[in-house]
Amino acid sequence: MDETVTVREARAHLADHINNAEQGTPTVITRNGAPVAALVPISDFEALEEAADELLAREAEAVLAEGGPTVTMAELLADLFAEDRARTEGAA
């Protein structure tokens, strides 16, 4: 069963919660009564990442199968850097 602790409790006993995660028991961390994070076994985290990657790949394949737009890697990188630059300039 998942354990639920406050941020304060998680800080005070972080090593214990890491040990629990290594043993397969997740810890949900709350702030003001609301869940905000989870300390989970690395295998669970890796499985979640793989599932997310698979979902994104399937969505991309569906767009391509429908004749959706494609871009070159150069165009993609240029767009990403432009968005990052706009965020940075907007925060200044």
Q: Where in the chain are the domains?
A: 3-40, 44-91
Helix (H) or strand (E) holding 81: helix 73-91
Q: What is the pLDDT of residues 7-61, one digit of tens each?
A: 999 999 999 999 999 999 999 999 999 999 999 999 999 999 999 999 999 998 8
- Residue 25: DSSP 8-state: -
Q: What is the pLDDT of residues 60-74, one digit of tens each?
A: 889 888 887 888 899
Helix (H, G, I), strand (E, B) or coil at 23: coil
Amino acid identity for residue 5 in this structure: V
Matching CATH number, 3-40, of 3.40.1160.10, 3.40.30.10, 3.40.50.720, 3.40.1620.10: 3.40.1620.10
Look up the pTM and report it: 0.64
How far apart are alpha carbons 49 and 79 in whole angstroms?
24
